[in-house]
Amino acid sequence: MTTPRLPQALGLLAEVVRQPDFADAELQRAKSQAIDDLRLRLSRPTALASLAASRGVFGEGAYGHSRSGTPESLKRISRADVQQLHDALYRPDNAILILAGDITQAQAQQLAQASFGDWAKPATPLPPRPAGKAASVLPPLLLIDQHGAGGAGVVAAHAAPPRADADYYVGSVADAVLGDSYSARLNEEIRIKRGLSYGANSRLQGLGDAGIWLASAQTKNPSAPQVVELMLGQFKQLGDSRVGTDELAARKATLIGGYGRPAGDHGRLGRAGRRSGDLRSAAGRHRQVRRRSAGGDAEAGREVRPKAPARRPSARGGRGRCHAVRRGDPQGPPQGGVAAVHRAGSGQPQPAGAGHALSPAGRRRGNPCTCRGIPWARASCARCAVGARGTFRRHPPLGFTSV
């Protein structure tokens, strides 16, 4: 919204938060949409396998239950249930108000006081938080027979440290090496080299009192065993050998570049602040990733960072990025493009069999790569970043869920 409309918008927000109607017609529509979305999700092998993997890691704890519920549980939700949850959790001592935009601290405090200043704290205490993790009863290897599925979802999961753990950033860097981007190892081996999947990736999710690390790929039914073996091989390699200098700093640059993306979007910046609890901690996360090696120690002697060329505007006015790292488009450069790669640490293109999609208009403007040297885009590009070295502790995966 525009800044002049902020007082009216904040007043509407306060009304929705403090005095929601929960009209029956709206609840029924929301339930119907949620059930349809969930059924579609459960029809996808990888999504179904990921839900089972979460239950395998967290057991009957709160994190082991799907946030989307089940079709049966959604049907049972009544207006009284929703109202009871609102009364128990929507209260000033359990809320954070974040304003991001062209506004001063004094203005923000004045607006907050006008809309929420008389919101009284209830006399009853907040309900206790349920345990996030409990003992798992699932076997380490689980097979779900999804009859009629046209493909197989292969998922590996393992318990991870909570978000506040001191080694969380070490895990973030290791996950970036393994599968957090298009040019990471899992996608390189499974999709780019062998064409067994449209995308193989991993993610590290740190939660309040636990965490999960999860790797996944969807493939053809006959190739599922091969994908399992490739995943196991990459897990073993990450634990047994040091990460190359260039590869590690490229992955660190990807993480660092990602921290700057919410700064251009007020909504994303606000959500980042909500998750961190303190907007100033974003700079701390940046510094943590920069100084960590994959072994968890500070870089000895120096820090290697990608040298990006000066930012130039795109001829099309858009925020382009390297075509070679676009998900779901394995066909190479777009029609009319020219293939080339950058020398590490320079902005000069070098001919190569596979690499960037070069824009002719961009070439005339002196920046042929469609990533345009923008730090966050260039950091995600497999051809534009350089790096440092490190190791990571070995943690065998919990097991595989093959659908």
What average pLDDT does the structure give for the chain?
Answer: 75
Whether 98 and 167 share a structural domain: no
pLDDT tens digits, 57-93? 999 999 999 999 999 999 999 999 999 999 999 999 9
Whether 88 and 178 share a structural domain: no
Whether 69 and 146 share a structural domain: no
pLDDT over 70, % of the chain: 65
Whether 84 and 10 share a structural domain: yes
On the question of pLDDT at 25 being above 50, the answer is: yes
pLDDT tens digits, 30-56? 999 999 999 999 999 999 999 999 999
Whether 96 maps to a domain, the answer reads yes
Whether 201 maps to a domain, the answer reads yes
On the question of pLDDT at 176 being above 60, the answer is: yes
pLDDT at site 266: 61
Q: How many domains does the chain have?
A: 3
Whether 330 and 356 share a structural domain: yes
Whether 202 and 110 share a structural domain: no
Whether 398 and 373 share a structural domain: no
Average pLDDT estimate for 351-360? 39
Whether 24 maps to a domain, the answer reads yes
pLDDT tens digits, 199-253? 999 999 999 989 999 999 999 999 999 999 999 999 999 999 999 999 999 999 9
pLDDT at site 100: 86
On the question of pLDDT at 103 being above 70, the answer is: yes
Whether 98 and 15 share a structural domain: yes
Whether 195 maps to a domain, the answer reads yes
Whether 71 maps to a domain, the answer reads yes
Average pLDDT estimate for 146-164? 93
On the question of pLDDT at 261 being above 90, the answer is: no
Whether 102 and 151 share a structural domain: no
Whether 293 maps to a domain, the answer reads no
Last residue of a domain, one of 81, 116, 151: 116
Supply the CATH number for residue 156's domain: 3.30.830.10
pLDDT at site 272: 59
Name which residue leads in pLDDT, 200 or 388: 200
pLDDT at site 188: 96
Whether 156 and 223 share a structural domain: yes
pLDDT at site 271: 62
What is the edge-to-edge ordering of all strands in the sheet holding 349-351?
Answer: 349-351, 338-342, 356-358
Average pLDDT estimate for 181-199? 95
pLDDT at site 258: 81
Residue 367 confidence class, pLDDT cut points 50, 70, 90: very low
Domain of 215? 142-242+394-402
Predicted TM-score of the model (pTM): 0.65
Name which residue leads in pLDDT, 301 or 129: 129
Q: Is the dihedral of CA 327, 333, 334, 338 positive or negative?
A: positive
pLDDT at site 284: 55
Residue 162 confidence class, pLDDT cut points 50, 70, 90: very high
Whether 278 maps to a domain, the answer reads no
Q: What is the CA radius of gyration of the chain?
A: 24
Whether 107 and 179 share a structural domain: no
Whether 271 maps to a domain, the answer reads no
Average pLDDT estimate for 332-355? 34
- Secondary structure of the chain as H, E, C letters: CCHHHHHHHHHHHHHHHHCCCCCHHHHHHHHHHHHHHHHHHHCCHHHHHHHHHHHHHHCCCHHHCCCCCCHHHHHHCCHHHHHHHHHHHCCHHHCCCCCCCCCCHHHHHHHHHHHHCCCCCCCCCCCCCCCCCCCCCCCCCEECCCCCCCCEEEEEEEEECCCCCCCHHHHHHHHHHHCCCCCCHHHHHHHHCCCCCCCEEEEEEECCCCEEEEEEEEECHHHHHHHHHHHHHHHHHHHHCCECHHHHHHHHHHHHHHHCHHHHCHHHHHHHHHHHCCCCHHHHHHHHHHHECCCCCECCCCCCCCCCCCCCCCCCCCCCCCHHHCCCCCCCCCCCCEEEEECCCCCCEEECCCCEEECHHHHHCCCCECCCCCHHHHHCCCCCCCCCCECCCCCCCCEEEEC
Whether 101 and 193 share a structural domain: no
Distance in angstroms (rounded) separating the CA atoms of residues 281 and 207: 16
